[in-house]
Every structure is written in C-alpha cells, then in structure tokens.
Structure 1
Amino acid sequence: MGFSLRSFALRAVMLGFGLALAAPIAELNAASLLSPGPATLLRQSTEPFGLATSLLAGGGLHDKWLGVQRQLADELVQLAACESDRAGCASPEALRFLAIVDAGRARNGRARLGEINRAINLAIRPGSDLATYGEPDVWATPLATFARGSGDCEDYAIAKFVALAKAGVAPEDLRIVVMHDLLGGEDHAVVTARLDGHWLTLDNRRMAMIEDADIRSFRPTFVIDQHGVYRYVDAPPVTEAAWRPAAR
C-alpha cells in the first residue's frame, strides 16, 4: 500500500510537470493545417522569427496534442523512476534517453544544445509514420520513438524538446516550430532554443544549428511553448533559399 501511495503521488507530480513541459504541438497533416481551430490572445513578440502569434483555443491541433500529453505524463513518471534507480530500470529506451540527457547536462550553453541535437539525430532513423506505425500521422513520445528506433520530424522535435528541458534548458527558452517548405511543399517541425537572445534551430535534417534569422525558403506557421500552441499571424513567405534540406 505504501508503494502504491508513493507511486500515485509521483504520478501526480510528474503529470503536472508533463503538462507544463509538453505544451500542445501543432499537427502537420494538411487537414489540420487548413483548419487549426479558433485563435485568441494575440501576442507580439520575442518568438522565433520575431513574428506575432495568437493562441489556438481548440481544433485539430489542440485535440491531437491532448493524446500526446497523456502518454508523455506516463513516460515522465517512468523516466523519473529510472533516473532514481538506473540499475533497476527495466526500460532500455529510458536508459538510452537518460544517457543523452546526462551528456547534455555535462555541457553548457551552445555545447549543451549541440550535444542533444547531435545525439538524438543519431539515435533515431528517419522514417515515415506509415512505414513505422502503419498509419499516416502518429505523434510519438520520446520513449515510444526510442523503442521503435525511427520517426519523422515531429518525433525528433518532441524528443529534443523533452531532453533539453530535462537537461536544464529553461522552458521559456524552448519552442517547437512548424514551418512550411516553400520549395518542397512539405511541412517540417524543428526545435528552437534561445541562447544569448538568439533563437537556434535544432533540425533532424542537419547537425549544424542555424539561427532563425538565417533560414530561407521556409515560412513558419505554428509555434509551441510551455503554455500552448500558437499560430503565426500573417507570416510573410520567404523565397530566397539559403539552404535546402535533405529528404526526410
């Protein structure tokens, strides 16, 4: 009974942490992008790309993330248990994920961001949801992705978002940004992290971290932080290509 009470208490604490850490993430399929739900609370900003945003209050993007939040709450409990007793941890994927978090914690500043970006890029094989899960649009939590060993852009982004937060990056300095590739016609998710007042992008398609101001041929559409998912307001398209991402 004592173990059950402790487990319940830990689960409640980690659920609260999970809800703060894992804010609603924008859905990438075309139907959701065309009908993202009502938007409120316009904010000007210090956001990546320096554009104003408005909070999404409902719709497909919001609903999609609710399921991810529930799964992530369970995973955070599991990660906390494994972190406190690694010898007794029965989850190989949790231990691999925590090793990446440890390596990030051992570094500071840009080196911390680069370590986690590189490690997660190498830990996950690029793969479509259809090939990995047999479904066209699956949003996976970090341990689910590590167990499968493959994922697409939002799976990398979710894993980096959680790993960076656990490694000590402040929540107010972390975002997930959904962008539309104006050349390739695809939607793509990356993590952005603020360092010394500049937003760096952590992309599964490259090891180098690029400032938001240097990105071309992509139009940002949605941004996610600890409070929710926001839509960029009147984001201007940028057509001059500074770099062309490799195929996923």
Structure 2
Amino acid sequence: MPSLPPLFKRVPRVIALLRVLVACTIALVLGAVFSAPDLDKIQAVALQRYGAKGADLVIAWRAMMTEGSHLSEPEKLAHVNNFFNRRMLFENDIAVWQQDDYWATPLEFMGKTAGDCEDFSIAKYITLLHMGVPNAKLRMIYVRARIGGAGSTKSEAHMVLGYYANPADEPMVLDNLITTIRPASSRADLSPVFSFNNEGLWVSGATTSSADPTARLSRWRDVLERMRQEGF
C-alpha cells in the first residue's frame, strides 16, 4: 500500500495548547448544536427568511436525508455530495453576501441557493453528521488549489471535506469543483494547509501558512452559534 501524502497526515508538532483549546471550544458548541436538531423549525425559518423557494429546498434536503438513511457510509457521501453539487451554484462571498469572507450556515446556503467552497463543505459536513456518519471520520480541510495545468505555480485558497474511513487512511475528498469523490492521493492539485473538526486541529508541516487557523475557527464558531439559533 502506498504511503499517505505527508501533508495529509496528522502533524505531531502542532502546538498542544492550541489543539486543546480548539477541541474544547468546538466540542462544547457542537454538543449544543447537534443534541436535538429541530428540522421543523429549520424549515419554518427558511420559509420566513427566503419564502417558498427556500423552504422547498429545505424540504428536499430533509427528504434526501431520509432517503439516504439506509445507505452505507460511502453511499451517503455520494448521496450528499451530489445533492449539493447539483442543486447549488458556486459563487463568491462578494456576490452572495457582499462580504469578503462569510461562512454561511446550511440554512443560509440553501436559502441563497449559492455559496463558496466553505459553504459547500460545511453543508455536506453537517448533513453527513445528521445522517449518522461519525464526526471522527470527517474533517474540513483548507487547501491551496492549483490553478491551471500541472506546471502552474498559481494557486488559491479552497476548502474541501475529507472522509477518513479509518484514522490511518488517506481521506476521500468531497469537492464542489469536481463531481466525483476521489482519494487525496489522486488530487495532486490540492496542497493542504490545515484541517479541523470538534476533536482537534491538524496543521501541515509547513512553517508558514496562507491561512490563519485562529481566524478561520472563529468564523466556524460563529457559524455553529447561528446554526443553534436556527434549530440545528
């Protein structure tokens, strides 16, 4: 079996205190968010904010989760990935929210029917959790995505969702820019910066980063709080 790409492995030199703080903070909020999601409230909020179109998409989302409840985990990944990639438009935050960097809740994302890579990744993550995929198997991964051909030196910030069938396995990558779910080893265009879930923060081996984990995770906490208010 080929060894995992080193940038996708958990790096032991991550600052211990930062990881503990991240884990504790996110775990507390996640516990409140996912203890008892009120899907009827979520649908009602969608109708109030976004009208019938927004509510209809939430209804379709609920039906999708019900229909996929019996599937295996790999099948759930494809089921959820296809739902969002086929129904939602990829737009930047300036176009959708008139802000440089805004992380939308799944409800806001569906209400606008458009969003950027963070919004796709968050919506898929939350949905898979609701469908019973263990949180330990899911991480949101910040990457630098190469633009152009194999020899290009241009890249831009991007987020994908990673699924780890086992802790030592390479992740399967759910990406809004590519319809198929592929193993990380086949995504040479992606260079991971850091990843996170409620169990901790994983940082690449680089000494410098193009993204600030503290700032990014602050936005993540804000998303979780808004989700709690919406009924998640």
TM-score range (shorter-chain normalised) is 0.5 to 0.7
Q: Tell me whether 1:80 sits opposite 2:37 in the alignment.
A: yes
Which of these residues, 188, 202, 207, is aligned with residue 230 of structure 1? 202
Alignment RMSD, CA only? 3.4
Structure 1 stretches lacking a partner, 5+ long = 1-44, 236-248
- The residue aligned with 1:189 is 159
Give the conservation status (yes or no) of the 8 Å contact 2:136–2:199: no
Distance across 1 between alignment mates of 2:45 and 2:155:
42
Please state if 1:207 is matched with 2:171.
Answer: no
Equivalence map 1:18-97=2 (5 Å): 49-52=8-11, 54=14, 80-82=37-39, 89=44, 91=46, 92=55, 93-97=57-61
Q: 1:125 aligns with which of 85, 89, 92?
A: 89
What displacement does 1:171 show? Answer: 0.8
- Residue 124 of structure 2 is matched in structure 1 by 160
Give the letter for the 2:63 counterpart: A
Q: Aligned AA for 2:157?
A: D
Q: CA deviation at 1:123?
A: 2.3
Gaps in structure 2 of 5+ consecutive residues = 47-54, 147-151, 208-232
Matched, 1:137 2:94: no
> How far apart are residue 100 of structure 1 and its match?
2.8
What SS class does the counterpart of residue 98 from structure 1 fall into?
Answer: helix
Distance 1:155 1:141, change over 3 A: same
Q: Per the alignment, in what secondary structure is the counterpart of residue 105 of structure 1?
A: coil
User: 2:116 & 2:5 partners in 1: Cα distance?
Assistant: 28
Partner letter of residue 82 of structure 2? R
Structure 1 residue 221 displacement after superposition: 0.2
Report the alpha carbon displacement of residue 215 of structure 1 after superposing the two structures with TM: 1.4
Count of equivalent residues: 180
Residue 101 of structure 1 aligns with an amino acid whose one-letter code is M
State which drifts further: 120-129 or 49-58.
49-58
In the alignment, the residues of structure 1 paired with residue 120 and residue 199 of structure 2 have an alpha-carbon distance, to the nearest angstrom, of 20
* 1:173 aligned residue (137, 152, 161): 137
Distance 1:124 1:56 in 2: 38
- Pair 1:158–1:113, CA change in 2 (3 A): same
Which TM-score applies when normalising by structure 1? 0.61
- Confirm whether residue 220 of structure 1 aligns to residue 192 of structure 2: yes
Amino acid at match of 1:150: A
Instruction: State the structure with bigger RCO (CA 8 A, min sep 6), 1 or 2.
Output: 2
Partner Cα distance (1:80, 1:47) in 2: 37
Q: What percent of counterpart residues are identical?
A: 21
Structure 1 residue ranges, 4+ long, deviating more than 3 angstroms after superposition: 45-48, 55-58, 72-77, 88-91
| 8 Å Cα contact 1:56-1:229 kept in structure 2 | no
